[in-house]
Amino acid sequence: MEILRGFQFELLCCAAKMTSTKPDRTAWFKGGTASCQETLASGAHAYRMVLLGAPGVGKGTQAELISERLGPCQLSTGDVFRAAKTLDPSERTPALSAALEYMKRGELVPDETVIGIVRERPNCLRCPAGFLLDGFPRTVQQAEALAKMLGDLGVNLDAVLSYDLPIDQIVSRLSGRRTCGGCKAVYHVATKPPKVVDVCDQCGGKLILREDDRPEAIRVRMEAYAKSTAPLAEYYRQRGLLISIAANGSPEEIYRRTAVALAAR
């Protein structure tokens, strides 16, 4: 058994060298009937997972690593809202415009709005390459709605990865985070600085401190997280889906822990 797990783990790590491409997220950003070109190498497992963790634990970075290495598309509800921000107000649906107001204040968007936005994207939930939900669900009500949507589509979740980190480390990570206004790449002033201060290495765009990463908004987000999101871990633990992962250390160390945990399932 141990030998088999070791083999599975090596496969999960090696996948990094074989496939290091960013999956196409057209369907996630456009919604409705939009589709994308996602396929998975033959014989590869299509992972269908949810990522949990307070803002700033490095969940987004792990989502990118898992997505690039194991193939599932990163479906971040926060990214949908941030993309909506760049649209002309006349192009936004009323639900998206309302959601942006909550987001600006660092508050959670109401459950029905977020659930509606995910429900409008069934092609992503039944994607043959799998999916990695990042930032959704955030409340038990959202988790129940997701279970219903997946049940209707005949899709099962493989696992819920919960990244855990003490709060003081979270605040230090968040206030140093910088996001590219153009391509949305994420940096950190201390742990992942760009080559030129405030300039994106990938597209030359200007790096910004996200409105919801400002200290006042961080405090509100942490309160919202503790109140609404923490019970989710319990919800998924009871269903035998939860995998807890210590989120200290470098992104590679955390990814290895993730790969070990997935191989052990």
Residue 69 falls in the annotated catalytic set: no
Q: Which of 25, 173, 177, 184 is catalytic?
A: 177
Buried b / exposed e along 3-20 (16+ C-beta atoms within 10 A)? eeeeebbeebbebeeeee
State in angstroms the smallest separation of the CB of 107 from ligand AMP.
Answer: 6
The answer, yes or no, to whether the previous bond of 137 is cis (omega within 30 of 0) is yes
State in angstroms the smallest separation of the CB of 136 from ligand AMP.
Answer: 4
Residue 40 or residue 213: which is nearer to ligand AMP going by CB? 213
Residue 237 falls in the annotated catalytic set: no
Q: Which of 30, 192, 210, 256 is catalytic?
A: 210
106: exposed, middle or buried (Cβ count in 10 Å: 0-12, 13-18, 19+): buried
Q: Are 139 and 109 in contact (CB under 8 A)?
A: no
Residue 47 or residue 225: which is nearer to ligand AMP going by CB? 225
Q: Which amino acid appears at position 26 of this protein?
A: T
Residue 59 falls in the annotated catalytic set: yes
CA distances (Å), 217 to each of 1, 74, 123, 210, 213, in order?
47, 24, 33, 10, 6
State in angstroms the smallest separation of the CB of 261 from ligand AMP.
Answer: 22
State in angstroms the smallest separation of the CB of 233 from ligand AMP.
Answer: 15
Residue 46 or residue 224: which is nearer to ligand AMP going by CB? 224
Look-up: residue for tokens 């990865």?
A: 161
135 secondary structure, DSSP code = S
Tell me the three state secondary structure of residue 131: strand
Q: Which residues bind ligand AMP (CB under 6 A)?
A: 55, 76-78, 81, 102-103, 106-109, 114, 135-136, 138, 142, 212, 221
Residue 81 or residue 131: which is nearer to ligand AMP going by CB? 81
Residues in the chain: 265
Residue 48 falls in the annotated catalytic set: no
Phi and psi dihedrals of 127, rounded to 5?
A: -60, 130
Residue 10 or residue 234: which is nearer to ligand AMP going by CB? 234
Residue 210 falls in the annotated catalytic set: yes
State in angstroms the smallest separation of the CB of 239 from ligand AMP.
Answer: 19
Q: Active-site residues: which are they?
A: 59, 138, 177, 210, 221
